[in-house]
Amino acid sequence: MSPTQTPQAQRAAELRQLLSRAAHAYYVLDAPEMEDAVYDRLYRELLDLETAHPELITPDSPTQRVGGAPAEGFQSVRHRIGLLSLDNAFNTAELEAWYTRLLKVLDREPAAGEPEPPLAMVGELKIDGNALALSYANGLLLRAATRGDGEQGEEITANVRTIASLPLRLQLEQPPAWVEVRGEALIPDATFAAINAERAARGEALFANPRNACAGTLRQLDPRVVAARRLDFFAYTLHLPADWQPGRGDPPRPTSQWESLQWLRAAGFKVNPNAALLPDLAAVEAFFAQWDEGRRRLPYATDGVVVKLDDLRLQDAAGFTQKAPRWAIALKYPAEEAPSRLLRLSCQVGRTGVVTPVAEFEPVPLAGTVVGRATLHNADRLAELDLHAGDTIVVRKAGEIIPEVLRVLPALRPAGAVRLELPHTCPECGSELVREQGEAATRCVNSSCPAILRGALRHWVSKGALDVDGLGSKLIEQLVDRGLVGSIADLYGLDAAVLASLDRMGPKSAENLVVALAASRAQPWSRQLYGLGIHHVGEVNAKALAKAFISAADLATAASETPELITAVYGIGGEIAQSLQQWFATLANQQLLARLEQLGFSLAASEAELAAAGGSGAAGSATLAGQTFVLTGTLPSLSRSQAQALIEAAGGKVSGSVSKKTSYVVAGAEAGSKLSKAESLGVAVLDEAGLQALLLSAGAVA
């Protein structure tokens, strides 16, 4: 029997076809059709087959190539130095086998009965993003390209220049004639969630994961779209010309991977702070185990640890296989995706009336927790999944945080299964649901809906709004279910005796809640405005509007008569102006404002707020207007939000990044890279005492 007729040959051909199709969908079309865990398992099966039967290896096998072809639409460029892929290990036994092979290549195999000699290695988190090749000429960014097939990629320089964490000029006294830097572009989890929320609101298809969103962003034809998505970048590989000599203030030429990371950091690149220099294989395994749990607290997605031989001369001696370096390996964590069976489709009604479908499925362990529910966003996503009763679904945590349904497995669908759709009536109040043309959201428009009321109450008492301590979701449910509260104004008619009669409430807790409610009347006008829950008016917009319109009456007049004054406020557009107009024109909302005023709410800026905003009066004669602050680390007695509120009350601005235009960096314990950047730029640094003194001189604190 010839090799092509054996079961092994038939399976190898099938695997080559599956993997090639999946690679084309992922790298060329930007439309993944196979989960990473499935691809890895099939790839490993093919590799094992070819290792056992070398005669099955073909030139077109995915194991014989570095990567996929570049996508069309951008100019193709050849890399000065190729970008090879890494071999994978899926457990410590495979890591140890790699280490044994490495010792053999380096001619350092131990004698019989002796332990393996230690080699220093560097452990780096494997960021789940997109590899970039950066070319610098005489210190200036010349070109940026995608990885492509490893030999050539797509030039995306204009897009990459928008990444704020990436230097356009190297911070070197005597830069080399050329420098090649490799690193990972990524989208942080919070940004990814915001992008998908915006896409869902517009009825657009959602990105499958942060890496997919990053790839799609880098291929945008409009760099302004790239800039708006706030990509980040970590550098991890450096190539220098042989004749480069550092200037007097430059970092020395690196002789190891660890020194390369320090060189990159000194030259102005962002380097992942979680890398570690590891003395031996045991330390590598400990590092891998440590980050299996620690990575879940990171603000970006990771799927493993990259292990590299530290000594660059030993790297050269180890060399490369046809597709990967022998001196590095990617040690991957177990897949965080799992199949489950759909139990039912339920719906949630939010405070604005938006009805969100939710998949409830048999609980499965994912990323350290047991998950049994995942949002399906809207009717379009539900239709896109083509979900049927009893379907088997693939579930994962997006960015290892938010549970999501990746796809359905139709082959496992029960016979006669019914297709699932959103209901036509509200699951809370039975009112007819409405979906306006051009909107992705389906809404309940009954203002008396209990679900909308509960959401409005939770929002009103939240930290960013009136900040009423002791009034949680369970208590709000009791108040609504028993008919004790019909609007946020009704909260202020509750007495301690009524509250004490509720579950989990005693006399003392009831008295404390009455006091907290009374104290909330003194919250600033911007918090009162935000607490009203007007569609599109978030915390930042509420602050801007409260500064421009000093009372609810002024804002209501502008909304109905001069909306152009609203859109003239920085950051406020026509959509917000229209939302304000609709809100203030609604009779129920007018009645709510009247009741709140009767209860003692100012619904207007206080004299202190006016003084701080206008820079007039005794308290405002030395405000911090025009000065920008950056907060980093943990302050002894002030939370970050408290410090920000004090600075803004004095007219200052709080930014999230340090630049030459920053006035002060306020640093507490465990301050990070922002402090280092401030020191390198010569920006003034304050501790909490220094901040308090500055605020005191500005009249912002007593």
pLDDT single digits (tens) 83-118: 888 998 988 999 999 999 999 999 999 888 899 999
Burial class (CB in 10 A: 0-12, 13-18, 19+), 579: middle
pLDDT interval class at 639 (50, 70, 90) = confident
pLDDT reading at 275 higher than 50 = yes
pLDDT reading at 246 higher than 60 = yes
Is the CB of residue 218 less than 8 Å from the CB of residue 147?
A: no
- pTM over 0.75? The answer is no
Q: Which CATH number applies to 446-522: 3.90.650.10, 1.10.150.20, 3.40.50.410, 3.30.465.10?
A: 1.10.150.20
Is the CB of residue 652 less than 8 Å from the CB of residue 616?
A: no
Tell me which of 61-70, 243-252, 558-567 is least confident.
61-70
The amino acid sitting at 309 is L
Q: In the chain, pLDDT over 90 holds for what percent of residues?
A: 43
pLDDT at 670: 77
Strands 354-366 and 130-137: unpaired
pLDDT at 68: 45
CATH 1.10.150.20 residue window(s) in the chain: 446-522, 525-605
Is the CB of residue 281 less than 8 Å from the CB of residue 118?
A: yes
For domain 342-423, give the fold. Answer: OB fold (Dihydrolipoamide Acetyltransferase, E2P) (2.40.50)
H or E element in which residue 667 lies: strand 664-667
Pick 617 or 636 by higher pLDDT: 636
CATH architecture of 525-605: Orthogonal Bundle (1.10)
Q: Please write down the long-range contacts of 91-96, taking CB distance under 8 Å and 24 or more positions apart.
A: 92/285, 92/288, 92/331, 95/281, 95/284, 95/285, 95/288, 95/307, 95/329, 95/331, 96/281
CATH 3.40.50.10190 residue window(s) in the chain: 615-697
pLDDT at 303: 85
Which residues make beta-bridge pairs with 684? 664
The rounded distance, in Å, linking the Cα atoms of 349 and 266 is 51
pLDDT reading at 26 higher than 80 = no
Which residues make beta-bridge pairs with 185? 130, 233
* In the block, residue with structure tokens 């809640």: 513
The amino acid sitting at 656 is G
**Average pLDDT of every residue of the chain:** 86
For the 615-697 domain, the top CATH level (class) is alpha beta
pLDDT digits (tens, 9 = 90+) for 50-92: 888 888 887 667 776 544 444 456 788 889 888 888 998 988 9
CATH 3.30.470.30 residue window(s) in the chain: 88-332
The rounded distance, in Å, linking the Cα atoms of 165 and 191 is 15
Angle at 340 between CA 391 and CA 390, to 5 degrees: 20
* 620: three-class secondary structure by DSSP: coil
In Å, how far are 339, 342, 359, 392, 408 from 412, measured between CA atoms?
11, 12, 17, 6, 9
pLDDT reading at 481 higher than 80 = yes
* 446: three-class secondary structure by DSSP: coil
pLDDT reading at 616 higher than 60 = no
For the 3-65 domain, the top CATH level (class) is mainly alpha
The rounded distance, in Å, linking the Cα atoms of 657 and 574 is 29
Residues labelled catalytic: 126
Q: Which CATH number applies to 88-332: 3.40.50.300, 3.30.470.30, 3.30.70.20, 3.40.50.10210?
A: 3.30.470.30
Which residue, among 692, 628, 690, 620, has the nearest Cα to 649 in the 3D structure?
620
The rounded distance, in Å, linking the Cα atoms of 376 and 404 is 7
- Order the strands of the 121-127 sheet from edge to edge: 88-89, 328-332, 302-309, 121-127, 276-278
Tell me which of 134-148, 489-503, 532-546, 620-634 is least confident.
620-634
Q: Is the dihedral of CA 221, 224, 227, 228 positive or negative?
A: negative
- Order the strands of the 684-686 sheet from edge to edge: 653-655, 628-632, 664-667, 684-686
pLDDT digits (tens, 9 = 90+) for 399-414: 445 788 989 999 889 9
pLDDT interval class at 44 (50, 70, 90) = confident
pLDDT at 73: 60
